[in-house]
Structure 1
Amino acid sequence: MSKPKSFMLKLTQFRKIYFCLGRVVNSVALVKEAAYMGMMSWLAEQRIQESMRNGEFRDLPGHGKPLELEDLSDVPEELRMSFKIMKNSGLVPEEISLRAECVTLEGLLAACHNSGSAETSEGKALRSKLSMKRLRLQELLRERGLDSNPAFMQYSAQIHEQMIKGEE
Structure 2
Amino acid sequence: MLLLDLLAEQRIEQARDAGAFDNLPGAGQPLPEEDLSLVPEEERVAFRILKNAGYIPPELEMHKRAVDLALQLATESAPEARAGLLGRLARINILLAEAGKPQLCVPADYQARLAERLSKGN
TM-score bin (small chain): 0.5 to 0.7
Displacement of 1:70 = 5.8
Identify the residue that residue 91 of structure 2 maps to in structure 1: 132
Residues 97-108 of structure 1 aligned to structure 2 (within 5 Å): 97-108=61-72
Secondary structure of the residue aligned to 1:96 is helix
When the two structures are superposed, what TM-score results if normalisation uses the length of structure 2? 0.54
Displacement of 1:74 = 6.8
- 1:90–1:51 CA distance, 2 compared to 1 (3 A): closer
When the two structures are superposed, what TM-score results if normalisation uses the length of structure 1? 0.41
Q: Is the contact made by 2:50 and 2:56 (CA closer than 8 Å) also made in structure 1?
A: yes
Match among 83, 89, 95 for residue 53 of structure 2: 89
Secondary structure of the residue aligned to 2:88 is helix
1:72 partner amino acid: E
**Tell me, which stretches of 5 or more residues in structure 2 are unaligned?**
1-8, 106-121
Q: Write out the 4+ residue segments of structure 1 that deviate beyond 6 Å after TM superposition.
A: none
Distance 2:74 2:46 in 1: 34
Displacement of 1:91 = 2.5
Match among 120, 124, 133 for residue 79 of structure 2: 120
Distance 1:123 1:71 in 2: 41
Rg bigger for which structure?
A: 1
2:63 partner amino acid: R
Superposed CA RMSD: 3.8
Distance 2:32 2:75 in 1: 29
Displacement of 1:80 = 4.2
Residues 4-153 of structure 1 aligned to structure 2 (within 5 Å): 52=16, 54-55=17-18, 57-58=19-20, 64-66=24-26, 72-73=34-35, 76-77=38-39, 78=41, 79-112=43-76, 117=77, 119-141=78-100
- 1:65–1:99 CA distance, 2 compared to 1 (3 A): same
